[in-house]
Structure 1
Amino acid sequence: MSRRFTTYLQLHKLPLLFALFSLIFYYSLAYQVERTDFIKLITLFAALFFFCWKLIQFEKWNYRFLLVTGILARLVFIALEPHLSQDFYRFIWDGELVSHFINPYLEIPNSLIEQKNLFIANAQELYQGMGGLSARHYSSYPPLNQLFFALAALFGGKSIMGSIMVMRLTIILADLGIFYFGRKLLKNLNRSPHLIFWYFLNPLVIAELTGNLHFEGVMLFFLVWSLYLLSQNKWQLAGIALGCSISVKLVPLLFLPLFLKYLGIKKSILFYGIAIITTLVLFIPFYSPEFISNYSQTVGLWFSNFEFNAGFYNIIKHIAIYFDEKPWEFIKSYGKITPYATILCALLFAFFRDNKNLLSLMGSMMWLLTIYYMISTTVHPWYIITLVLLASFNSYKYPIIWSGVIVLSYFAYSQVNDKENLWLLALEYTIVLGILVYDVIAHTNKK
């Protein structure tokens, strides 16, 4: 046994060293870096992306080694209170409401906090932590996401850290589910199973999902499960899984038109029906006459009120300002156009792109989401994670590169009022577009 272990160490000395340094750097990222320390932040991310690349390069057929490395990296964050995002305070607040059978789509934190004998545990800390922007709006998180928040509040022992740990374990389990179904789906598509590690070991995935408690990973678990079921020709169950994915985050709604050619007209209609009914059933417990108005108003804010790490929007905005357009008026006008432009792109991909096999279908999902993020006013780093997963099933590199350079947007965290550096944003999008063009040319030549 000792001899075998010694031989293993000799054969895997460098990857073991990379894995060890990765864990040390993740610990530093989690517990020793302030969000305002931009230089240290991007240096750690750069090193972690290098280690990720080398580990996959050296050990891509040793899936147990890479799986354990990915799990250990996530467990480093287990006792961390997120410091790169404050969204988790609102998650726990909503969870407290739902666990007490209060509708989070009908109650605003600003109003609730004024009540005497408020039933929410740690109410003042949660209220202060979520920030004024979140506190004055209704919840925007879909119903299945609310269920996970409620479970965190119930099993968190009326402790913020307890709730954080419950959510973190949920997200880690979702990532393990993505790894499991992702590998099986890759095999079904005659793709190398090791490609899933571009998602599972990606530092942005680990830091933003496990570290900062964003639920994109839970949404993606149901999406990958749905795609795997489709590869098994179990489209009815796939429709239920897709409905669950939509009920965690609304993003997969964009993908519905793309299934038309893959399933055919009759099956696709039934598939859409199953997915939409699943979503509506999960929304029913929260329904009231005011719900639709409150929810649509809150979701609409993301199109017409907020801007962060935007690409083409920043270019168009500065042209508009040059012609005396008021910025606060321009974003509202631009925000009204964006949803229609995205829907038009979805329909074009549905009718004019060959989506008759799963790889092509997933490629269409990737391109549609890419266009959506390129024209969006708000592109938080964790949004790109969906592209990272979809890119794991093909040979496009730009989503992986984007997941690395998008950390440049963290510069805003180091500034007063989160002021962005437009030169850094220009650098980010120039690199991404450059690699995207390279990918397109390489694939065209390959064909």
Structure 2
Amino acid sequence: MPITFKNFLKLHRISLILAVLSFVFYYTFAYHLDRTNFIKLLSLFIALFFFCFKLIQFEKMNFRLLLGIGIIFRLIFLFIEPNLSQDFYRFIWDGQLVSSGINPYLHTPDELMQNMVSIIPNAKELYNGMGSLSARHYSNYPPLNQLIFALATILGGKSIFGSLIALRSIIILADIGIIYFGRKLLKNLNRSPHLIFWYFINPLVIVELTGNLHFEGVMLFFFIVAMYLLSLNKWKTAGVVLACSISIKLVPLLFLPLFFKYLGWKKSIVFYMIIGITSIALFLPFNTPEFLDNYSKTLKLWFSNFEFNSSIYNIAKKTAIHFDEKPWEFIKEYGKFTPLFTIATVGLFTFLPKRYDLNRVLWSMMWVLTIYYFISTTVHPWYAIFLVLLSIFTTYRYAVVWSAAIVLSYFAYSQADFKENLWLLGIEYISVYGYLFYEIIAHNNKK
């Protein structure tokens, strides 16, 4: 055994033991976990977050080791179906439609199963897998996301398993891209490059993106590339790339006004025009007279029909019910309030700060998204991943705490009717709010 390898084992033996234990736990998570077993799920997550913390603490300057570990953890999930989400069935369904020349925004799966089922490969299995809620609604995934779904079904050879591997490979490549450009951006902003590992080996990121095939990672890849280009003053190219991020998930739309003071009004107008033209170009292949109406109906559902893992909304709802308000009526009224409050929040963070460099833009994005999630009716676990990435460009770490605490919301997955446990949600949000207030006080004391 070469002496250098012996020294490596000796120097990094604790970290390698932690990595091996993490590997075993991720393998157990991927292949031997039923989502109804909440105690096992929670125990695995707690252990994995502890190992993640210690790995970063011991090896934060060892880029190659943490990169390799992060990639290996992701490859564990490559050949297994997601066990916490069934959304991938809808991804593949939409991909089959697009690759067959059918507009996914014009027909619900329920409609297609009655009229065009023979055109869609594996239609019955995909339809049953996605569930009745998804089946009765039009697709809500933006156009570039649809094109990636189509690419995955083409690469997968019309096989569900093949398409699943293709989708997962794309997400893994996106995460590798995030660590590459994220480190460069951190350096450009005079921050420590190792902070990117709070994203890259974060268990929530690995499980929810690679494991459960959520496309926040692909959105974040385009987002971080756009921010990196802005740090190089390549703002025109950044506009095109940011439009691609929006065309994966619409969340970055929230941040567009924040660039106004950073770029100045002349550049801002051109920047917004570039984003608008690119977005329109991506939507054009799907544009029909019915498209806008169907797509907007689906988006409205998120504000006025769905609720999961909410904080302020849960308190407001319980208070309203105490005064004899009907829950189904209250959520619709609350859904009208949420966009207005969000717009007002974005306006405050756009015009109030006096200094507006890229650090300040990313800081403002973090707070805008945080406030939006705090007032939202629906906060799925993978939503917190965007906050984790934004937070590493600031001195705040409450988003990392949230990425650990949010696993308590998985309790609902263990229930046949997806009923939430408000005590567990209380622990989650007390942890998040408590650490947030602690950080705010600590930052104020440093001034």
TM-score range, shorter chain: over 0.9
Structure 1: how far apart are the matches of 2:355 and 2:246? 21
Matched-pair contact (CA < 8 Å) for 1:22–1:51 = yes
Query: Match for residue 300 of structure 1?
Result: 300
The correspondence of residues 418-437 of structure 1 with structure 2, limited to 5 A, is 418-437=418-437
Residues 117/144 of structure 1: CA separation in 2 closer, same or farther (3 Å cut): closer
Q: For residue 84 of structure 1, report the CA deviation from its aligned partner.
A: 0.2
Matched-pair contact (CA < 8 Å) for 2:391–2:399 = yes
The correspondence of residues 234-249 of structure 1 with structure 2, limited to 5 A, is 234-249=234-249
Query: Match for residue 61 of structure 1?
Result: 61
Structure 1: how far apart are the matches of 2:440 and 2:244? 33
Query: Match for residue 193 of structure 1?
Result: 193
Q: Tell me if 1:341 matches 2:341.
A: yes
Matched-pair contact (CA < 8 Å) for 1:240–1:278 = yes
Structure 1 residue ranges without an equivalent (≥5): none
Query: Match for residue 365 of structure 1?
Result: 365
Structure 1 residue identity aligned to 2:60: K
Structure 2 residue identity aligned to 1:344: A
Q: For residue 392 of structure 1, report the CA deviation from its aligned partner.
A: 1.3
Q: For residue 83 of structure 1, report the CA deviation from its aligned partner.
A: 1.3
Q: For residue 406 of structure 1, report the CA deviation from its aligned partner.
A: 0.2
Residues 116/437 of structure 1: CA separation in 2 closer, same or farther (3 Å cut): closer
Q: For residue 26 of structure 1, report the CA deviation from its aligned partner.
A: 0.4
Structure 1 residue identity aligned to 2:5: F
Matched-pair contact (CA < 8 Å) for 1:408–1:428 = yes
The correspondence of residues 153-164 of structure 1 with structure 2, limited to 5 A, is 153-164=153-164
Structure 2 residue identity aligned to 1:391: S
Tell me the percent identity.
65
Q: Tell me if 1:412 matches 2:408.
A: no
The normalised TM-score by structure 1 is 0.99
Query: Match for residue 254 of structure 1?
Result: 254
Structure 2: how far apart are the matches of 1:81 and 1:307? 26
1:106-159 deviation digits (Å, cap 9, x = unpaired): 011001011266211110010011111110010000000001100111111121
Q: Tell me if 1:114 matches 2:109.
A: no
Structure 1 residue identity aligned to 2:51: F
Q: For residue 355 of structure 1, report the CA deviation from its aligned partner.
A: 5.4
Q: Which moved more, 1:151-160 or 1:215-224?
A: 151-160
Matched-pair contact (CA < 8 Å) for 1:409–1:424 = yes
Query: Match for residue 400 of structure 1?
Result: 400
Structure 2 residue identity aligned to 1:6: K
Matched-pair contact (CA < 8 Å) for 2:143–2:282 = yes
Matched-pair contact (CA < 8 Å) for 2:309–2:379 = yes
- What SS does the corresponding residue of 1:118 show, helix, strand or coil? helix
Matched-pair contact (CA < 8 Å) for 1:355–1:361 = no
Q: For residue 200 of structure 1, report the CA deviation from its aligned partner.
A: 0.3
Query: Match for residue 319 of structure 1?
Result: 319
Matched-pair contact (CA < 8 Å) for 2:117–2:123 = no
Structure 2: how far apart are the matches of 1:416 and 1:170? 32
- What SS does the corresponding residue of 1:309 show, helix, strand or coil? coil
Matched-pair contact (CA < 8 Å) for 1:49–1:404 = yes
- What SS does the corresponding residue of 1:416 show, helix, strand or coil? coil
1:1-55 deviation digits (Å, cap 9, x = unpaired): 6111011100100001111111110000111010000001011000100011100
Structure 2 residue identity aligned to 1:195: L
Q: Tell me if 1:133 matches 2:162.
A: no
Q: For residue 354 of structure 1, report the CA deviation from its aligned partner.
A: 3.9
State how many pairs are aligned. 447
Q: For residue 388 of structure 1, report the CA deviation from its aligned partner.
A: 0.4
1:357-387 deviation digits (Å, cap 9, x = unpaired): 1111101000000000000000000000000
Structure 2: how far apart are the matches of 1:72 and 1:213? 17
Instruction: Quote the RMSD (CA, aligned, Å).
Output: 0.9
Structure 1 residue identity aligned to 2:73: A
Q: For residue 439 of structure 1, report the CA deviation from its aligned partner.
A: 1.0
Matched-pair contact (CA < 8 Å) for 2:104–2:139 = yes
Q: Tell me if 1:90 matches 2:90.
A: yes
Residues 203/117 of structure 1: CA separation in 2 closer, same or farther (3 Å cut): closer
> Which 4+ residue blocks in structure 1 deviate beyond 3 angstroms?
none
Query: Match for residue 143 of structure 1?
Result: 143
Q: For residue 333 of structure 1, report the CA deviation from its aligned partner.
A: 0.7
Q: For residue 414 of structure 1, report the CA deviation from its aligned partner.
A: 0.8
Q: Which moved more, 1:150-159 or 1:192-201?
A: 150-159
Structure 1 residue identity aligned to 2:229: L
Matched-pair contact (CA < 8 Å) for 1:258–1:355 = no
Structure 1: how far apart are the matches of 2:75 and 2:32? 16
Structure 2: how far apart are the matches of 1:416 and 1:108? 25
Structure 1 residue identity aligned to 2:356: K
Structure 1: how far apart are the matches of 2:128 and 2:343? 37
Structure 2 residue ranges without an equivalent (≥5): none
